[in-house]
Amino acid sequence: MKGSKPQFRPNEIYVANNLVVSESLMGKVDLIYADILYDHVNFDEIDMLVGTLKLGGAIYIQTDYRSVGQVKNRLDMWCIEQPRRLWNKDTALRFMNWIIWPYNWGGRPKDAFGRKHDDILFYVREGKKHVFNVKDISIPKVVLMRSTKATQIPTDVWLDIGNFYTTSKERVKVNGKNVPWQKPENLLERIILASSKPGQLVYEPYLGTGTACAVAKRLGRQFIGCDLDASMVKLARERLHAITRRKTK
């Protein structure tokens, strides 16, 4: 129909602007994983992402030193009283964690400490108790440098995720070279297992290689992803199709 808004169905990924996709998902999303452009943040996109969350929904935004302060300031604006009055009380966020993912690869400067971590900001939308699956993310408890049979909840420094080696089998390549912004599946497993239930909707608005969508599919969640780069969407679709083929064997 002429003038009708585009529809975006679950369990699909799209070549599309995330502002358009987000507008169609207002109040429908259980979990957002946004691996943003670290040195170029679009705050209009962040505001729209907040609006897509259901009550009790969670948002994780991954960045680094170049923009983490700016992003946190923006998200914190959704937590204070003035935005609640100006916009909608139900859209208020609550800050949960500033997560550090440390790694140890690549070069180091000769005049400063090596920058070897990403920042992941975790917020939830107020109005309903949020999902946090403790049993699904618990890790072995270490006593005197040894793992025990007891378990514990990870801290906000995810030392156990480790490096994402260039030789990893899950690495996606373009023209024989690794896609540099790809994130490891075990990182997304922790986020998705922690903050969603099977059947709930995971939204990846900066699709890239589609790691969040791929892990969501493997873990029995619904997903929607989008990216303006058609070549990345094609790669991500191939990755999703491979999961389907493995499941049907």
Interval 209-243: pLDDT, tens: 999 999 999 999 999 999 999 999 999 999 999 98
CB 228 within 8 A of CB 17: yes
The pLDDT, as a whole number, for residue 142 is 78
The pLDDT, as a whole number, for residue 194 is 98
Report the CATH architecture of 12-248.
Answer: 3-Layer(aba) Sandwich (3.40)
d(CA 207, CA 225) in angstroms, rounded, equals 6
Domain ranges in the chain are 12-248
The pLDDT, as a whole number, for residue 1 is 47
How does pLDDT run across 191-204, given as a tens digit for each residue?
Answer: 999 999 999 999 99
207-241 in b/e burial notation, b at 16+ Cβ within 10 A? bbbbbbbbbbbbbebbbbbbbeeeebbebbbebbe
CB 112 within 8 A of CB 64: no
d(CA 120, CA 72) in angstroms, rounded, equals 10
Residue 119 — φ and ψ, nearest 5°? -110, 135
Residue spans of beta strands (DSSP E) within 36-116: 53-63, 93-102
* Ranges under pLDDT 50 in the chain: 1
Nearest CA among 98, 154, 94, 96 for reference residue 121: 98
